[in-house]
């Protein structure tokens, strides 16, 4: 199949949606499909050969954070040319309602359209205000995918209909085989805690973790915190108490390989995110690398960690409460047997999100919409395995 994928977010800035699109494109290509990705990107950005840059994006406040998006008549012309030259069997648009290349592609597409909704925001004023203007274009969509039940509820609340739930994918084998970094390997007296996320984005929860660190250090004086992710490290470091600052290493944005190695070295991975998460890809990556997980009790995180018959694959603390985070972290760090159980359960749970599972379900959606024919407005029956996961139809 010839598949065109559209990213609303700039490929010169790391992010979960961009990684999802990149990994999906590479899976498709490695399995004999033709895939092209249209995405914003600054001039000179090093891009994979399958990515077509559409131009420089600008920072816009969207979904509780600052996203780099591209919109306007020049971008619309590039979208039109890409669609015409690609002659795609399916156009897969991510975040189709974002004021970006995605919305432009939805307006212009004539091939069967599949959309993926990543956002969890049931009170989105933007969606509520723009829905009447977007309704004719939404009727083009043959298959809707949501990465989680939270994202699915956003779809049903704002635009109606339903969506198939297919989670984000992770190359679990790459994380599982990552070597531990000897610099960060800890132990009972010097455990390593790891945080991964954008430093400047409060909803990623670094301030909550920083507020918990004094109590953790009181109980475990040798503990150290590794902070991985882009952002202003100098400003973040300056906000830390001196004692916490001395125990914290800011590693910046890491390559995929170094990120996996750092996660594999963690005695405890901490996800203190405070909201706005529809899935929790970082939890899956940490579990795949063998790191025990302690996460805020966001609904999206609970669903990722719930292994059903195997039990919770991670520990939880009360969202936004540093005292509870510290208490749970100290409790876990003093119980190596419990940490090992969480690591083992996490590895098992992570496999359900492997690309070998997830991509096959996405391809099944492609095949269903492509086979539906030009006179079908929307897909109403998907493969039984996908319908079971969705609890509904596309």
| Domain 2-169+354-390 superfamily per CATH | Glycogen Phosphorylase B; (3.40.50.2000)
At residue 385 the predicted structure's pLDDT band, cuts being 50, 70 and 90, is very low
Q: Please give the pLDDT value at position 386.
A: 44
Q: What is the pLDDT of residues 318-354, one digit of tens each?
A: 999 999 999 999 999 999 999 999 999 999 999 999 9
Distance CA 345, CA 62 (A): 35
At residue 374 the predicted structure's pLDDT band, cuts being 50, 70 and 90, is low
Sole residue written with tokens 């609904």: 299
Q: What is the pLDDT of residues 162-203, one digit of tens each?
A: 899 999 999 999 999 999 999 999 988 999 999 999 999 999
pLDDT surpassing 50 at residue 383: no
Burial annotation 285-296 (CB, 10 A radius, 16+ → b, else e): bbbbbbbbbbbb
Q: What is the pLDDT of residues 96-116, one digit of tens each?
A: 988 899 999 999 999 999 999
> What global pTM score does this model have?
0.84
Q: What is the pLDDT of residues 111-141, one digit of tens each?
A: 999 999 998 765 556 566 666 667 778 888 9
Enclosing H/E stretch for 321: none
Q: Which residues contact 100 (CB under 8 A, 6 or more apart)?
A: 8, 9, 40, 69, 70, 71
Q: What is the pLDDT of residues 194-205, one digit of tens each?
A: 999 999 999 999
pLDDT surpassing 90 at residue 356: yes
Enclosing H/E stretch for 270: strand 268-271
pLDDT surpassing 80 at residue 377: no
Q: Please give the pLDDT value at position 389.
A: 41
Do residues 317 and 296 make contact, with C-beta atoms less than 8 angstroms apart? yes
Percent of the chain with pLDDT over 70: 88
Q: Please give the pLDDT value at position 273.
A: 97
CATH of domain 172-352: 3.40.50.2000
Ramachandran sector of residue 212 (left: φ over 0; alpha: ψ -120 to 50; beta: rest): alpha
Sole residue written with tokens 């400003």: 235
Which three-class secondary structure state does DSSP give residue 388? Answer: helix
Break the chain into its structural domains and give their ranges.
2-169+354-390, 172-352
Do residues 133 and 103 make contact, with C-beta atoms less than 8 angstroms apart? no
Pairing of strands 192-196, 224-228: parallel
Nearest to 357 by CA among 327, 389, 333, 392: 389
Distance CA 234, CA 9 (A): 26
At residue 258 the predicted structure's pLDDT band, cuts being 50, 70 and 90, is very high
Rounded to the nearest integer, the mean pLDDT of the chain is 89
Cα distances from 135 to residues 104, 138, 392, in angstroms, run: 14, 5, 21
Q: What is the pLDDT of residues 37-53, one digit of tens each?
A: 999 998 888 999 999 99
Q: What is the DSSP letter of 244?
A: H
Distance CA 327, CA 296 (A): 13
Q: Please give the pLDDT value at position 378.
A: 55
Nearest to 92 by CA among 157, 142, 53, 54: 142
Q: What is the pLDDT of residues 266-303, one digit of tens each?
A: 999 999 999 988 888 999 999 999 999 999 999 889 99
């Amino acid at each position: 199949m010839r598949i065109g994928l559209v990213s609303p977010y700039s490929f010169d800035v790391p992010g979960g949606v961009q990684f999802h699109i990149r990994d999906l494109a590479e899976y498709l290509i490695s399995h004999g499909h033709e895939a092209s990705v249209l995405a914003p990107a600054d001039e000179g950005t090093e891009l994979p050969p399958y990515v077509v840059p559409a131009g420089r994006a600008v920072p816009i406040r969207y979904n509780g954070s600052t996203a780099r998006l591209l919109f306007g008549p020049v971008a619309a012309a590039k979208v039109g040319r890409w669609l015409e030259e690609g002659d795609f069997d399916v156009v897969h648009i991510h975040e189709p309602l974002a004021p970006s290349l995605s919305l432009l592609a939805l307006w212009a597409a004539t091939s069967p359209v599949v959309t993926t909704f990543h956002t969890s925001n049931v009170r989105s004023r933007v969606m509520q205000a723009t829905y009447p203007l977007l309704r004719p274009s939404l009727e083009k969509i043959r298959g809707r995918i949501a990465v989680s039940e939270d994202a699915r509820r956003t779809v049903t609340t704002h635009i109606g209909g339903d969506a198939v739930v297919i989670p984000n994918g992770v190359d679990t084998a790459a994380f599982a085989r990552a070597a531990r970094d000897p610099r960060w390997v800890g132990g009972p007296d010097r455990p390593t805690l790891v945080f991964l996320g954008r430093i400047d984005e409060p909803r990623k929860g670094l301030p909550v973790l920083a507020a918990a660190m004094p109590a953790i250090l009181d109980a475990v004086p040798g503990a150290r915190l590794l902070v991985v992710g882009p952002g202003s490290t100098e400003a973040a470091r300056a906000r830390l108490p001196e004692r916490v600052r001395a125990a914290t290493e800011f590693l910046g944005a890491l390559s995929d390989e170094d990120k996996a190695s750092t996660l594999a070295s963690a005695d405890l991975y901490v996800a203190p995110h405070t909201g706005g998460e529809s899935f929790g890809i970082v939890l899956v990556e940490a579990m795949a690398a063998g790191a025990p997980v302690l996460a805020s009790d966001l609904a999206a995180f609970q669903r990722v960690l719930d292994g059903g018959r195997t039990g919770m694959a991670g520990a939880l603390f009360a969202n936004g409460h540093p005292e509870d985070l510290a208490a749970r972290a100290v409790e876990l760090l003093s119980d190596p047997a419990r940490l090992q159980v969480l690591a083992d359960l996490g590895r098992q749970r992570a496999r359900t999100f492997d690309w070998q599972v997830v991509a096959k379900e996405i391809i099944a959606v492609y095949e269903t919409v492509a086979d539906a024919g030009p006179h079908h407005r929307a897909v109403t029956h998907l493969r039984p395995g996908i319908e079971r996961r969705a609890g509904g139809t596309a």
